[in-house]
Every structure is written in C-alpha cells, then in structure tokens.
A and B are shown apart, each in its own frame.
Chain A
Amino acid sequence: MTVAVLAVQGAFAEHERALARLGASFCELRRKSDLSRAFDGLILPGGESTVQGKLLRELGMFGELKARIADGMPVFGTCAGLLLLAKETVNDSRAYFRTMDISAVRNAYGRQLGSFFAESDFKGIGKIPMTFIRAPYIQSVSGSAQVLAECGGRIVAARQKNQLVTAFHPELNEDLSVHRYFLDMIGQAARE
C-alpha cells in the first residue's frame, strides 16, 4: 500500500513521519509527473489552502486528482486539506475540489492567538489529542457526509465514503490512531 502526500506546501513531512511509523510506504506529489506513480490513497496536509490550491492548479495536478477523488480514491485532508475538499467555505469565495458535502468556516477560531489544544472523542477511536492551528471547523454536513468528532460544540472531523477530514492536526501529535483509521479506509477500499 502506498499513500501519496501532497507536498507543494505545508506540514507534509509530519504526515510522512506518521505513515513511516505505521510501516506504510508513501510518495510525494510536487508536480504533474508525480501522478504517474502508483498510489492507493492521498493525504492533503495542513498549510495554507490558498497556496496549495493555486499550486495544485498551476503545477497541473488539479484535474486528475479531482477525478480520482470523485472516483473513490481514499483521501484524508487535515486543516487546509479540509478546505480543499469542502463543497463550500462560508466566509471565503475560493473553493477547490468541492468533492465533499461539508460547509467549512476558514480561520474559524481567529488568528494565531486563537490556536489551541484539546482532547475529544473521535467516533470509532475514542478520546484523542487535537491540535488546532488557525483552524477551520465544519459548520454543517449534508448528503452522505457523517460527523466523526466534535470539540466545544463544533464539528471538527467528518467522513463521506472514502473522504476523511479533520480540522485539527493528528500529524502533530504522537497519537497515530487517525492515520491508522485512514490506512484502514484504504485497505477497505482496496477490498471492495
């Protein structure tokens, strides 16, 4: 099993470290030619969604990745990655893949002084650490999208078929359970 990690900007190395600790192999996507490698799932890391969205398009990866996500390739977006997948962002006109029926709020907790750490329940896993950095949250889910975690009354994780998003950064903590959850999703998708 190989997981591709979008490596155009942001905290992609942290995701790679988590994957390595779980014994999963990974490859980096930095340009169009990287898409010719074989991979079974995709991680969209934290960073700035404006930068990542722009580079996805200008480096020629946007269309093919969107088609593969729409076609059911498992994908896991954290923070900026959540915004890349959201059908809409209520306080920003920019939208990217729009493959997931969630409505997001960008920089929802304000500037860096609003960044925080918490622990909360994640459906199917239990209590996990959650680090929020200038984070978004999910205002609402629709269609077949399901809420997986809430924190302080806000939706902070959701899943729709093979798409998983978290507003927080599991890659910043030692806890590997959300990455393991995603690897299980990839395993399941391969069996189906």
Chain B
Amino acid sequence: MEENRYELNKNLAQMLKGGVIMDVTTPEQAKIAEDAGACAVMALERIPADIRAAGGVARMSDPKMIKGIQAAVSIPVMAKCRIGHFAEAQILQAIEIDYIDESEVLSPADDKYHIDKTKFSVPFVCGAKDLGEALRRIGEGASMIRTKGEPGTGDVVQAVRHMRMMQADIRRIAAMAEDELYECAKQLQAPCELVNYVHEHKKLPVVNFAAGGVATPADAALMMQLGAEGVFVGSGIFKSGNPAKRAAAIVKAVTNFRDADLLAELSEDLGEAMVGINEQEIQLLMAERGR
C-alpha cells in the first residue's frame, strides 16, 4: 500500500468525526439512517444483539446485500469481516467498500493473527480495549480505532471502561520522560514509534470513535465527553421502539454533547430503548476476541 493511500484513509475517518455510524441490515434501514443524519452506515446481515441471540458462527455479510445498501445511500458504507479473515477483507475491497471493520462482533477466523491491513487499499477500523491494543492495530495498518465496548448489549459500561483506559494511558504517556517511552512500549506491547507519537501529540495518530453498547442520546453524549470523536450505534437504533426518532436524537446529541438543555429535549419521548443485557448476564464477551 503506498504511503499516500494510508494518509487518505486516515483522512476519510477525519471527515466522519462528530458523526454517528449506524448498523443497518437492509436498504430500507440504510435510508432511514441516512435521513436521520448518519455520517456512514455499517452494512451487516444481523445486528449484534441478534448475532448474540442466534449463536453459531457469524461471518461476513452477503456481498449482494452490501451492494444493495451501497446503491441505496450516498454516504460511506462500511462492512465487517472476521478478525484475521483476510480473504473476506479481499472480497469487501473488491466490492469497493468504503471502510472495513475487522470486528470482534463476528466469530474470529484466526485466534493469533489479525489481518495485515497494510496490504489493502481500502481503510480498516478496528476495536480496542486499551491503548496497547489500539496501537497494535494501528501498527498493523488500521486507519481508525473504536472502543470495543460490548456489542449487542445496550450496556455502555464496557465502552466507558475502554475509553477511560485509553485516555488514561494517553495522559500517562504524555507525561513521561523520553527515556521511559521504550519500556512503556514494551509493557503496552506496542510499536515504539507509535508510543513516541502519543507522547508528542497527546492523542492517537488516528481518529477514535466509541462503540459497543451505546443506546441513548445520553450514552452518546457521555462517550463524547469522555473523548470519543464520534459514535457507532449498532443494535441501539433498530432494536428500539422508534428507530428514526432515536437515530436523529443521537445524531444531535453527538453534535451538542455538552448542551444539557438540548440533551434533555432530545431524550424526551423516544419510545422504548432496546431492552439490553447487563454485563454480568452475558455468556459471550465479544470484547475478549482478538488481542
């Protein structure tokens, strides 16, 4: 992959900032998401809550279904491949997907290696629980990071934990003496040059979104105030009582995430939120997939 292409791929993530990326399973849902103000959509056959409920192996979606969504909207379309499944990623690149999510929501195809994302021209977003994981993914060629959270639960606690861990690690590294960075990189199991970047710039070298468990405008505002640059909403929208209204409210909450008066207004009368599962109740921790 030429140097330029990686810059361009990081640049697309910059254009998504301050926005909401929504999971959709049909062209109709994609239209609803676009009309509600989504800055991109994630095309997948089943949303995480249903994957969780159905069990079994979750794989890349049917390319025909993804193409149907590409044809339905004008905003960027993302799709998921399994961790380590570079052949699925090759297929997604062949249909000119705008972003590939190498995602723990699907069943991992490789329990050791992630995809070498530098071999691709299309950009990748990857999940991370902490800074070391984020920097390893960036080292492998990811041009955007999101918290893993815990997808399909409607419970924001893990996204909060992951975002706080990343931000705390960033602050810690920013405050370090230069001769402490090498040891820090060893501990984080992350590339030295990326640790140096974080030390110098006090931020990740790529855009960082929140994901996994965001279900309300307040959840979205919480994640933005904790330092997210935008939000992925998966099951939270189309598992709720009034998807169009909830989606539009979350979009506005991300723009005005510090405006409590507006957030109060946006949170009114949204109908039922997704039921959700508490983290103690779930059998499968998707966030533990991939290191």
Contacts and interface: CB of A to CB of B under 8 A. Distances in A.
Interface of A: 7-14, 30-31, 46-48, 50-51, 54-55, 58-59, 79-80, 92, 106-107, 110-113, 115-117, 131, 133-134, 169, 172
B278 to A, nearest CB: 32
Interface of B: 4, 7-9, 11-12, 14-19, 34, 37-40, 70, 74-76, 93, 96-99, 121-123, 248, 251-252, 254-256, 259, 262
Contacts of A8: 18, 255
Contact of A14 (B8, B14, B251, B256): B14
6 contacts: A50-B37, A112-B8, A112-B96, A112-B122, A113-B93, A117-B4
Contacts, number: 113
Given A112-B99, A112-B122, A172-B14, 17 more contacts: A7-B18, A7-B255, A8-B18, A9-B39, A10-B16, A10-B18, A31-B256, A50-B34, A50-B74, A50-B75, A54-B37, A79-B15, A92-B74, A111-B76, A112-B123, A116-B4, A134-B76
Contacts of B11: 115, 131, 133, 169, 172
B223 to A, nearest CB: 16
Most chain A beta-carbon contacts within 10 A, residue among B16, B37, B38, B254: B37
Contacts of A111: 70, 76, 96-98
Given A48-B75, A112-B98, A55 B251 contact: yes
Nearest to A169: B11
Nearest to A111: B96
A112 B9 contact: yes
A48 B19 contact: yes
A112 B15 contact: no
A118 B31 CA distance: 33
B76 A113 contact: no
Contacts of A172: 11, 14
